[in-house]
């Protein structure tokens, strides 16, 4: 049953995020009330993914070598940094078109490197596929206007925020019983 919840959660996440791209006229007819509905889909998807993932039996598909933990942590630093580029006021603003979706792709690959169980492959692989598809759909449907570059001090803030966020995420993983560093 847990795998069903995991997959259903992924489906709600994808539907909640892609509906306005797949059916823009229908989404427009829903007006502002549709925002709440799709926010509920996304939140429900997250809840189902967490419950499903945590409830699955451990079915190992591969065993990751220990050195990949280092690669994972470096990729996670990069993912947090790239995600933050979407909100930076620094020189890096507008360097890439889809920093948040790119960060999700980096995050998913990092987690696939160190988690070789079936539930992880479904969760992180599914979110990786969604992020790739979302970028393709957006690129085909919308033109992009590159934002103006900001001041270098915004990039310094981004580095500091990245390091603090990484420490917080590592602490949360440790609190949940998943030690994110090599032993």
Burial class (CB in 10 A: 0-12, 13-18, 19+), 100: middle
Dihedrals φ, ψ of 172, to 5°? -65, -45
Nearest residue to 104 (alpha-carbon basis) of 121, 81, 88, 128: 128
Provide the pLDDT confidence category of residue 19 given band limits of 50, 70 and 90: confident
Distance of CA 129 to the CA centre of its chain: 11
Whole-angstrom distance between the N-terminal and C-terminal Cα of the chain?
A: 33
> How many whole angstroms separate alpha carbon 116 and alpha carbon 106?
17
Range list of β-strands (E), 95-147:
none
Banded pLDDT at 65 (limits 50, 70, 90): very high
Q: Is the predicted pLDDT of residue 165 greater than 80, yes or no? A: yes
Using the predicted structure, report yes or no on whether residue 27 has a pLDDT greater than 80.
Answer: no
Question: 58, 174 in Cβ contact below 8 A?
Answer: no
Quote the pLDDT of residue 75: 97
Q: CA triplet 109, 17, 6: central angle to 5 degrees?
A: 60
The answer to whether residue 59 scores a pLDDT higher than 80 is yes
Residue range 82-128, pLDDT digits in tens: 999 988 888 888 888 999 999 999 999 999 999 999 999 999 999 99
Average pLDDT over residues 122-146: 92
Mean pLDDT, the chain, whole residue set: 91
pTM of the predicted structure, to 2 decimals: 0.89
């Amino acid at each position: 049953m847990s795998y069903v919840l995991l997959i259903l959660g992924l489906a709600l996440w994808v539907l909640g995020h892609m509906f306005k791209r797949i059916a823009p006229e229908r989404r427009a007819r829903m007006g502002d009330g549709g925002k709440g509905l799709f926010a509920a889909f996304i939140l429900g998807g997250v809840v189902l993914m967490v419950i499903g993932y945590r409830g699955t039996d451990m079915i190992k598909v591969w065993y990751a070598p220990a050195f990949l933990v280092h690669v994972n942590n470096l990729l996670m630093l990069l993912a947090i940094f790239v995600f933050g580029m979407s909100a930076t006021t620094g020189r890096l603003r507008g360097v890439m078109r889809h920093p948040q979706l790119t960060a999700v792709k980096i995050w998913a690959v990092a987690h696939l490197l160190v988690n070789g169980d079936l539930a992880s492959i479904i969760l992180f692989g599914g979110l990786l596929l969604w992020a790739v598809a979302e970028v393709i759909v957006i690129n085909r449907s919308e033109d992009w206007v590159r934002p103006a570059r900001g001041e270098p001090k915004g990039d310094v803030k981004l580095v500091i925020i990245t390091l603090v966020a990484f420490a917080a995420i590592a602490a949360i993983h440790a609190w949940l019983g998943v030690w994110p560093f090599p032993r």
